[in-house]
Structure formats: structure tokens, C-alpha cells
Amino acid sequence: MTDKDTAVSDDTGIVDKVAVVTGGAGGIGTAIAWALARRGAAVAVVDTDEGRLAELTGKLVAEGLTAQGFTADVTDARQVALAVDRIEAELGPIDLLVNAAGVLRMGSATDLSEVDWQTTFSVNLNGVFHSARAVVPRMKQRRRGSIVTVASNAARVPRVHMAAYGASKAAAASYTKTLGLELAEYGIRCNVVSPGSTDTDMLRLLWSGENDRQATIDGSAATYKTGIPLRRIADPGDIAEAVVFLASDSARHITMQDLCVDGGAVLGV
């Protein structure tokens, strides 16, 4: 299904729910926003990029879907708290939280700059913490809710020059599972989706030539990286569909799970 396939479907119990998507103006975040909105959710798109935020929400609204943009930096707890206050005041009680904000800083495990290390953890880990801390007390009062964190298959296996990224995503996944354990008694589910190589601007920044797409599929023996058994790079929509499933009532008895969506690249690890 493409961004323009906007027929609302109620097969997952998402219609009329309020969904927050952090990093919603990014490649995967945008696909998640579309997927939730198409299923009838009122989507609060949170991002720092005001231009892309306005463009995305404008397109969603133009298609008859319910969406609103909120500018906030997930590394700033106060900005996140204020955004959540606004979302609940303007859209209603938050039912779904999707932590999709993320950054990638490449560098060896010892040569990566301190700024890049701190930035990676500030967005990929602290952003999840700040968002959960702002949303969870409200969900607990209502005794309902679903949280999905977008991590990475790099959290499961070592990747050359991705020490900070992998470590931050592993920490975010672990945090989300612990959150799920603590919130289970309130009927709140917390799950993780771990994408592999996905056709986004983030991935394309790693490419320098026309053969890089195929090289990603084939893998690299020199860097101990397996290829992709399904022989394709994921579309953002592939990740979005997994997120929607875990966020929805279709997964009502699933919590503390990590669904890897990578075409088999980590061989099921």
C-alpha cells in the first residue's frame, strides 16, 4: 500500500485512537504516520524538522485523514512534555506511542567523537525515555495503551563502524521490554520493531556509488556482514506494517517482544 492509498480500515481496532509518532517526518516515521492514519487514527507527528513536518501533515489532511504536527526535540524532556500536553489537549487521550526518532553516526568504536556518541544516545535512547516518561503516567491512569519502539537489527549483531548506533538501539530495546514488564498490570503493551537495511535517506547517506544497493543485499565478507536472504532492501512501509500490527488490537496478547524486519539479514538471531 502506498502513501496515497488512504481508505480507512477498522480491522485492527485503531480507528479513532490517538497515536503519537516521534521522528514522524523521517523515512520510516513518515510511513508509520501514513499507515496509522489510513487505519483511522488521529496521528500526532512529532519532529524537529518543521518544513517536512508541515509537508507531511498537509498531505495527510489533504487526503481526508486526521493528523497534526508538533515540533519538539526528543532529547529535551521539557519539549517532549509540553508537546504531549498539547497533543492531549488538541487531539485527545494518547492511545499509541511509536518511538521512531533516530540518528546514525558512523565511526569506529574508539575513534567516534564524543559529540557523535552523545548525540546518538541522546536521540536513540534518551528520546525513548523522555517520550515514555511523558506519556506513560497518562496511560496508567486510563489502564490502556500500546508503545512500540523502532530499534535496529544492529542491536543484535555487531556492525563495523556502528558501535554507538547498535549500542543505543540495544539499550532502547532493553528499556522498552522492561517498560513492558512494569506496565503489564495496567494493560499497557510495549514492543520493539527492529528493521534491517531500509530504503531511507539514512541508508542512502551510506552509499557512494551505483553498486552500493546490490552490495548491501549481497553483504560483505571483509566486514563480517551477512547479506539479505530475501534479496531485497525493505521499503519503509514494510517496517510501518509491523509497527501497526504490534500497536494494534490484533496483537493484544503480545508484549515485550522484538520483531526483526530485515529480510533474514541477521539469520534469525
Report field, pTM of the whole predicted structure over 0.75:
yes
Q: Which CATH superfamily is domain 18-261 in?
A: NAD(P)-binding Rossmann-like Domain (3.40.50.720)
pLDDT number for residue 8: 54
The model's pLDDT over 39-58, given as tens digits with 9 standing for 90+, comes to: 999 999 999 999 999 999 99
pLDDT number for residue 201: 75
**Helix, strand or coil, per DSSP, at residue 182:** helix
The model's pLDDT over 98-155, given as tens digits with 9 standing for 90+, comes to: 999 999 999 999 999 999 999 999 999 999 999 999 999 999 999 999 999 999 999 9
pLDDT number for residue 70: 98
pLDDT number for residue 11: 64
Residue with cell 501533515: 57
pLDDT number for residue 146: 98
Beta carbons of 150 and 102 less than 8 angstroms apart: yes
Q: How far is CA 234 from CA 100, 117, 148, 166, 168, in A?
A: 16, 27, 19, 19, 22
**Helix, strand or coil, per DSSP, at residue 191:** strand
Q: Is 165 a residue of the active site? A: yes
Sign of CA dihedral 61, 124, 173, 146: negative
- Average pLDDT of span 61-76: 98
Of 165, 175, 186, 224, catalytic: 165
Predicted confidence band of residue 1 (pLDDT cuts 50, 70, 90)? very low
The model's pLDDT over 157-191, given as tens digits with 9 standing for 90+, comes to: 999 999 999 999 999 999 999 999 999 999 999 99
Q: How far is CA 108 from CA 38, 75, 202, 243, in A?
A: 41, 24, 18, 31
User: Dmax of the chain from CA atoms?
Assistant: 53
Q: Is a pLDDT exceeding 80 seen at residue 208?
A: no
Half-sphere exposure of 238 (CA within 13 A, CB side): 16
pLDDT number for residue 213: 86
The model's pLDDT over 229-269, given as tens digits with 9 standing for 90+, comes to: 999 999 999 999 999 999 999 999 999 999 999 999 999 98
* Spatial CA neighbour of 189 closest among 267, 240, 245: 245
Q: How many Cβ atoms sit within 10 Å of the Cβ of residue 15? A: 13
pLDDT number for residue 10: 55
Predicted confidence band of residue 85 (pLDDT cuts 50, 70, 90)? very high
Q: How many Cβ atoms sit within 10 Å of the Cβ of residue 269? A: 9
- DSSP class of 250: G
